[in-house]
Amino acid sequence: DTAVSQTPKYLVTQMGNDKSIKCEQNLGHDTMYWYKQDSKKFLKIMFSYNNKELIINETVPNRFSPKSPDKAHLNLHINSLELGDSAVYFCASSQTNGQPQHFGDGTRLSIL
Amino acid sequence: TQLLEQSPQFLSIQEGENLTVYCNSSSVFSSLQWYRQEPGEGPVLLVTVVTGGEVKKLKRLTFQFGDARKDSSLHITAAQPGDTGLYLCAGLLYTGRRALTFGSGTRLQVQP
């Protein structure tokens, strides 16, 4: 059983489109995260949710909107995609905020 | 500038050699985690260190947290090709926001 699963694994789309990435965790964790990993492999937090409540919102363009329907799911919707959005997006979860994290396998987003 | 600087950025060695990766900061961390990431996958937790001066061993990997909790090191003895990957340190700041800050990463390649 995959602990943190995100879909799709690959996403290739045109500039200006809107897309969503889904994430689910079956670990019973309270906290979920979205990270962006750039081409230099630097991993930067975007959002963090604790029990469906937003607790961390880094300086991310408001074209990015996370949604947590329940504590096991955290989805990421991106409007008006730009070339600079190309990256690998990782979902993660932890027992509570700041604790060791379990990561999904990432979604590689490529903007044409 | 990164809050957590890792060195070296890249390391290519022969099987059987020893190596050390450093993770340095001017900030104090309440805990520090080490992850390994392989291509196409998410980071996987190796260890968490919490106490200044703490040393933890995981088979051939030895992790140390600095006395002042500002730095950490990872030492690998007799490296094997299976150790190849991207090593990331991540710290939880002692004060301030409760989100992991990731280091810049060390890419290790072990040649057979």
Q: What is the pLDDT of residues B46-87, one digit of tens each?
A: 999 999 999 999 999 999 999 999 999 999 999 999 999 999
Q: What is the mean pLDDT of each run of 10 residues along chain A (112 residues)?
A: 90 97 97 94 92 86 94 96 96 92 97 94
Structure token digits, residue B16: 């059987």
Q: How far is A76 from chain B (nearest CA, A)?
A: 17
Confidence category of residue B12, pLDDT binned at 50, 70, 90:
very high
A residues 59-88 closer than 8 Å to B (CB): none
What is the C-alpha separation between B5 and B23, in angstroms, rounded? 6
DSSP B21: E
In terms of C-beta density within 10 A (0-12 exposed, 13-18 middle, 19 or more buried), how is residue A77 classed?
Answer: middle
Radius of gyration for chain A, computed over Cα atoms and rounded to the nearest angstrom: 13
Asked whether the beta carbons of residue A106 and residue B40 sit closer than 8 angstroms, the reply is: yes
